[in-house]
Structures are given as structure tokens and as C-alpha cells.
A and B are shown apart, each in its own frame.
Chain A
Amino acid sequence: MTVSYENSKSIYAGIRAAGVRSISALPETWLGLLLQRAEDDPEMSLIQVTKEEEAVGVAAGAYFAGTPHVLLMQNHGFLAAINGIVSLAQLYGVPLCMLVALRGHWGEPYPWHTRGGIVTEGVLRALGIPFEYARDPAVVGRHIHEALTFSQSSLSPVALLLTRDLMED
């Protein structure tokens, strides 16, 4: 299994087409090609954090500045960011457009990813965070635009889960 070059390209194109020029991220395997594109794009501002909760703060700063922003993280990073999501984004009405690599789910060969993968959807539901699964490269761009739009209109965190179907060849 390798990370999909073509689909990473489609996702990045979707981020750009949604009008986003600002990304925060914590790198991980599935997001690697995306982040490479962001680094090589002179129009894109990329802030890499040490832990995903930091990115919630950075995203709030971008929102206050009036700049559309996308957060890239693994689902375990989402789990690590929950207090920031709840007690900054949800408490103050700050939109977050989170693109979350869904590791530890259908077809996962690595034991260490599995618990996080199994609980991710339940945690999203418990937190009242709207989410959608992105499986098809043909529509992932539209999904990203819709996630951004919904986060902004609802002043809420929104998660688009990047699945194995999409991220691996």
C-alpha cells in the first residue's frame, strides 16, 4: 500500500479551489504528499504544529483575521485536540474545517491505529461535530468546499474524514 499521489493531488486542488490559502497541520504518512504540495506552493501559508491542539488556536487566529483556513490532522491528533475544539472553537463559535486522516479503520493492518479508528466516529457524534466520509477523488473537492462553507455558516467545527479508499492506492 502506498499513499495515493493522484488523490493527494485532487485533495490539494480541492483545498485551493475552495479559496483556502492557509493551512495548519501535523504531518503524518497519509498527509505527507498534501503537505509537500502546500510547502511547494508559494501562495499557501502552512503552519506545522507540535500537537494538533495548537492548530485549533492557530485556526482561531486565522478566523479572527478573516482568512479561510483548513486544519490537516490524523484522527489520533483530533483526539488529542479535543479540549481546544470544545473550549475554544465550540465555546466561542469559531469555525474549524478539519480534514482528518481516518487511520485504524476498515482494512487497517497496524494494531496501534485501531482503537483510535474505532472510536473516532463515536467521539465526533458525542461532541456534536458534523462529519462526512471522503472516499471518492471525483467529489472530494466538492466535499472540502462544503465542509468549509458549513463550518463558516454554523460557526462550528466540521470534520471531513479522509478514508483508506481515498488515501491509498
Chain B
Amino acid sequence: MERARCLEMIHPELEEMLVVTIMGACAQELYDLGHRENFFYLQHAMGLASSIGLGLATHLPAERVLVLDGDGSVLMNLGTFATLARYRPANLIHVVFDNGSLLSTGGFDSHTATEVTDLAAVARGAGVDHVVSVANEMEFGEAFVDAVERDAMTVIVARVRATGPDHYGMDLALPENAFRFRRWIAERRARGPVTPRISLEK
């Protein structure tokens, strides 16, 4: 399964969600599908995408928050699963694309490369109630739909191939991304209470 294909599947459903991605390939692939003001790309500070997601989800309970994480990043902050499990915001979906590789920083094997380390088991052991492992696009799509419909925090660990885009670059300075992301949230709140309008066909 390709991460880019997974992102392509869900991209149309992300108009109303606050989306936080990790650096590198994942950010670039989402950007290339079409940037939206509700997307924030964490192009460094590996490990903190899910912590930003936790901060967003707990402070904006009426919003849906989607974190697009990776094995290399989440391995730098495994404590995040314990913190997520402790506060378990129902409006948070944490997707970990596990390609077994530090692809965007040189393509070295990560600790999940040999499948000895099971990130889904780590999340379960940390106390996350809803953890799903998926290995093909159909499973990913179903898991994503289930997570959207479920009124509880979900972690999806998606095994993907270690492939990325052939180019990097965005017409978006990093602080500009932060300012516009914050403005999108503020303007949406100014319009009144947010009612999640997410409906997906199974």
C-alpha cells in the first residue's frame, strides 16, 4: 500500500477537519493533492504532530482533528500514546503511516523495519482503546470511515511502502502556514458553533 494513495482516498473528506502532518514525504503528498487552509505541516520537531493534535482536540472539542504521523516521528515520542490514552479526546484520529523507514531523512531503516516493533501494540499497551492495523487500501478506507463515525479516539497504524514524492517544496512559508491555520480556526469559530459535517459512505 502507498501512503500517497491513502491520502488521495481521504483528501476529499478533509475539508472540515483540522489536519496536522509530519515532515517530508507525508506533508508533500498531502500538499500536492491540494493545500487547504485547515492543513498544518509540521516540517520539523519530529514526534510532536500528535501532541499538537492533542492540544487542538482538547481545546476545540467541536472540531475533528486528524494527525498524519509516521513511524520515524512517533518513535521519537512514544510517550505520546500514553498521554493520548490518558486524555483520549473523542474527536482525535491519529494515523501512523508505518513504512519502516526514515525515508525523508535519508531512507535508513527505522526500528519497525523488521516488524519486531509493533506500533499498534505499543499504542494498545499505552492504553488506547481503539487501535487498528491495516495493510491494504480497502482496510485503510474502512478503518478511516469507522474512526470518523466512532465517537472515541482512534489510532490507525497503516503499513505502507517506503516511497515518497520525487520533489519537495511548497509555496507556503512555515510561519505563514501557522498564521493561516490559526486564522482559519478563528474565523470558523467566529461564525458560530461548529457542527461536524462529516459523512462518509462505507
List A residues at the B interface (Cβ < 8 Å).
22, 24, 45, 47-51, 53-67, 69, 83-84, 86-88, 91-94, 155
Contacts and interface: CB of A to CB of B under 8 A. Distances in A.
Interface in B146-202: 174-175, 177-179, 181-182, 185-186, 189
Contacts of B181: 64
Contact of A67 (B18, B59, B174, B175): B59
Contacts, number: 111
Interface string B49-89: 11111111111100000000000000001011011001100
B58 A54 contact: no
Contacts of B56: 61, 64-65
Listed residue (A60, A63, A87, A155) with the most chain B CB atoms within 10 angstroms of its CB: A60
A64 B182 contact: yes
B45 A47 contact: no
B59 A62 contact: yes
A93 B179 contact: yes
A47 B59 CA distance: 11
B83 A88 contact: no
A45 B86 contact: no
Main secondary structure of the interface of B (DSSP, over half): helix
Main secondary structure of the interface of A (DSSP, over half): helix
Nearest to A88: B45
Given A57-B52, A61-B52, A63-B182, 15 more contacts: A48-B83, A50-B83, A51-B79, A58-B54, A58-B55, A64-B178, A65-B55, A65-B185, A66-B182, A66-B186, A84-B48, A87-B44, A87-B45, A92-B178, A155-B175
A22 B45 contact: no
Which bucket holds chain B's interface residue count? 35 or more
A91 B51 contact: no
Contact of B79 (A50, A59, A83): A50
Contacts of A66: 182, 185-186, 189
A86 B80 CA distance: 19
B87 A47 contact: yes
A69 B54 CA distance: 14
A91 B23 CA distance: 13
28 contacts: A47-B54, A47-B58, A47-B87, A48-B86, A50-B82, A51-B79, A53-B47, A53-B51, A54-B48, A54-B51, A54-B77, A56-B45, A57-B50, A58-B52, A60-B55, A61-B55, A61-B56, A61-B57, A64-B178, A64-B181, A65-B55, A83-B44, A83-B45, A88-B44, A88-B45, A91-B43, A93-B179, A94-B178
Listed residue (A48, A57, A60, A93) with the most chain B CB atoms within 10 angstroms of its CB: A57
Contacts of A65: 55-56, 59-60, 185
Contacts of A47: 54-55, 58, 83, 87
Nearest to A57: B51
B88 to A, nearest CB: 12
B53 A61 contact: yes
A61 B59 contact: yes
